[in-house]
Amino acid sequence: MSRILLASDSADLRGLIATATGEPISVIAGAPLPAGPSQLFQQLGSGVAIPQVVVIDTATDRAGALGLSSRLATECPGMAVVLVSEQPDTLALAALRAGACDVVHPGADVAELAEVLGRAALVAATTAPQGPGDPAMNGNADARGRVISVVSPKGGVGKTTVSTNLAVGLARTAPLSTVLVDLDVQFGDVASALNLTPEHTLLDVVRGPAVQDSMVLKTFLTQHQTGLYTVCAPTSPAEADEITAADVARLLKTLSSEFRYVVVDTAPGLGDHALAAIDQADELIMLTSLDVPGVRGLRKEIDILRDLGLTFESRHVVINFADPRSGLTKADVEATIGTGVDLVLPRSKAAPVSVNQGIPLLQSDTRDQMTKQLRKLVDRFTPAPMRPAGITAPILDGGRHRLRRKRVKA
Could you tell me if 68 and 199 lie in one domain? no
How close are the terminal C-alpha atoms of the chain, in Å? 60
> In this predicted structure, what is the pLDDT of residue 150?
97
**pLDDT (tens digit per residue) in 66-102:** 999 999 988 887 889 999 999 999 999 999 999 999 9
Q: Are residues 64 and 100 in the same domain?
A: yes
Q: Is 139 a residue whose pLDDT tops 60?
A: no
Name the most confidently modeled range: 116-120, 133-137, 307-311, 343-347: 343-347
Which of 126, 158, 178 marks a domain boundary?
126
Q: Residue 219 domain-assigned?
A: yes
| Residue 402 within a domain | no
Residues 169 and 110 in one domain: no
Stated pTM of the model: 0.77
Q: What was the pLDDT predicted at 123?
A: 87
Is the predicted pLDDT of residue 144 greater than 90, yes or no?
no
pLDDT at 309 over 90: no
d(CA 185, CA 189): 9
Q: Answer yes or no: do 150 and 9 share one domain.
A: no
**One domain for residues 121 and 162:** no
Last residue of a domain, one of 69, 92, 126: 126
In CATH, what number is assigned to the domain containing residue 70? 3.40.50.2300
Is there a domain that residue 262 lies in? yes
Decide if pLDDT at 206 tops 50. Answer: yes
In total, how many domains does the chain have?
2
Establish if 406 belongs to a structural domain: no
Q: Is residue 397 part of a domain?
A: no
Mean pLDDT of all residues in 137-141: 56
d(CA 386, CA 384): 5
265 close to 160: Cβ distance less than 8 angstroms: yes
Q: Looking at the predicted structure, is the pLDDT value of residue 349 above 80?
A: yes
Cα–Cα distances in Å, from 256 out to 28, 114, 214, 259? 32, 39, 11, 5
Q: Is residue 98 part of a domain?
A: yes
**pLDDT for the residue numbered 31:** 73
Tell me the three-class secondary structure of the chain, residue by residue. Answer: CCCEEEECCCHHHHHHHHHHHCCCCEEECCCCCCCCHHHHHHHHCCCCCCCCEEEEECCCCHHHHHHHHHHHHHHCCCCEEEEECCCHHHHHHHHHHCCCCEEECCCCCHHHHHHHHHHHHHHHHHCCCCCCCCCCCCCCCCCCCEEEEEECCCCCCCHHHHHHHHHHHHHHHCCCCEEEEEECCCCCCHHHHCCCCCCCCHHHHHCHHHHCCHHHHHCCCEECCCCCEEECCCCCHHHHHHCCHHHHHHHHHHHHCCCCEEEEEECCCCCHHHHHHHHCCCEEEEEEECCHHHHHHHHHHHHHHHHCCECCCCEEEEEEEECHHHCCCHHHHHHHHCCCCCEEEECCCHHHHHHHHCCCHHHHCCCCHHHHHHHHHHHCCCCHHHCCCCCCCCCCCCCCCCCCECCCCC
**pLDDT exceeding 90 applies to what percent of the chain?**
62
407 in a structural domain: no
Does 295 share its domain with 236? yes
Asked whether residue 162 falls in the same domain as residue 302, the answer is yes
Q: What is the mean pLDDT of the segment spanning 189-206?
A: 94
Residues 181-194 have a mean pLDDT of 95
Judge if 9 and 86 occupy the same domain.
yes
pLDDT at 407: 40
Residues 345 and 311 occupy one common structural domain: yes
Q: Of 208, 272, 193, nearest to 240 (Cα)? A: 272
Angle 318-319-321 from CA coordinates, rounded to 5°: 140
User: What rounded mean pLDDT belongs to the chain?
Assistant: 86
Q: What residues form DSSP beta bridges with 231?
A: 181
CA 186 to chain CA centroid, Å, is 18
- Give residue 382's pLDDT: 87
For position 3, what pLDDT does the model report? 85
CATH number at residue 258: 3.40.50.300
Q: How high is the pLDDT of residue 237?
A: 87
| 245 and 153, same domain (yes or no) | yes
Q: Please determine, for residue 354, whether its predicted confidence score (pLDDT) is greater than 80.
A: yes
- pLDDT at residue 180 tops 50: yes
- Same domain, residue pair 122 and 153: no
Output the pLDDT for position 36: 87
In this structure, the answer to whether residues 344 and 285 fall within a common structural domain is yes
By residue range, what is the domain housing residue 280? 146-386
Separation CA 352–CA 161 (nearest Å): 9
Choose from 32-46, 136-150, 256-270, 389-403 the range with maximum mean pLDDT.
Answer: 256-270
Flag whether 409 is in a domain: no
β-strand partners of 103 = 83
pLDDT at 277 > cutoff 90 = yes
**Rounded to an integer, what distance in angstroms lies between the CA atom of residue 72 and that of residue 99?**
8
Give 323-336 pLDDT, tens digit per residue: 988 889 999 999 99
Residue 345 pLDDT exceeds 60: yes
pLDDT for 149 equals: 97
Of 179, 196, 189, which Cα lies nearest the Cα of 237? 189
Q: Please return the burial class of 262, using the count of CB atoms within 10 Å of its CB with bins 0-12, 13-18 and 19+.
A: buried
Checking if the pLDDT of 409 tops 50, the result is no
Res. 298 pLDDT band, cuts 50 70 90 = very high
Cβ atoms of 256 and 144 within 8 Å: the answer is yes
- pLDDT on residue 215: 79
